Amino acid sequence: MPTARKQLVSLQDTPFYHCVSRCVRRSFLCGVDTYTGISYEHRRDWVEKRLLALSDAFSIDICAFAVMTNHTHLVLHVDAPKANAWSTLEVLHRWHRVFAGTDLTRRYCDDDQRDNLTQVELNQVKRKAELYRTRLADLSWFMRSLNEYIAREANKEDECTGRFWEGRFKSQALLDEQALLACMA
């Protein structure tokens, strides 16, 4: 049985990880398909724009990335202390940049409605914010947010359904400077 990702990622050992996601069914992420002559080069922009949006919301920094014809390489730095320093409002604003959130969290973010929340609702908001805080510093949530978006866009463009990525992403801890530099070269 495979090892759970939460057991593979140890931020105490290193905050740096190399993540790889591969396409399936001979799909093209970018480049030109030699059989059909169709160019998928515009998908590189999808990945870049999504990475910029995610790095703006998550407490995960992108050290390097490469978009190949059928896979992506990312070198990521998880900055958990940064996420822990955010206020509840900051966490919710960041979460809402990428996800819808709940009606209650959206009401909390609205200055006019925040004062009308009951203590029970405020406690629920605080619990949700703590959950979102952990997710905004989570490598799996970051990769999920990237890969799901790209898969949906590619499937829509290809007029098909089903898997676009080869299972979950692969990750490797970069334990020292030499590994980090080798990965970024």
pLDDT in tens, 52-71: 999 999 999 999 999 988 89
Higher-pLDDT residue of 22, 11: 22
| Residue positions counted in the chain | 185
Give backbone dihedrals phi and psi of 18, rounded to 5 degrees, phi first.
-100, 120
126 falls in which pLDDT band (50, 70, 90)?
very high
Q: Is the model's pLDDT at 8 over the cut of 80? A: no
In this prediction, residue 33 carries a pLDDT of 84
Determine the residue type at 66: A
Separation of alpha carbons 5 and 146, rounded Å? 17
Predicted confidence at residue 7, as pLDDT, reads 56
Angle, alpha carbons 51-136-129 (nearest 5°)? 140
CA-CA-CA-CA dihedral for 23, 29, 32, 37, to nearest 10:
70
pLDDT score for 183: 66
**What CATH superfamily is the domain 5-79+138-178?**
Transposase IS200-like (3.30.70.1290)
In the chain, domain spans: 5-79+138-178, 82-135
Are 17 and 9 within 8 A, CB to CB? yes
Contacts of 177 (CB under 8 A, 6+ apart): none
Spatial separation of the C-alpha atoms in residues 140 and 43, rounded to whole Å? 22
**Rounded mean pLDDT of the chain?**
88
Enclosing H/E stretch for 162 = none
pLDDT tens sequence across 74-111 = 999 999 999 999 999 999 999 999 999 999 999 999 98
pLDDT at 4 over 70: no
Q: What is the pLDDT of residue 31?
A: 85
Assign 35 a pLDDT band (cuts: 50, 70, 90). Answer: confident
Q: Given pLDDT bands bounded at 50, 70 and 90, which one contains residue 38?
A: confident
User: Which pLDDT value is given to residue 82?
Assistant: 95
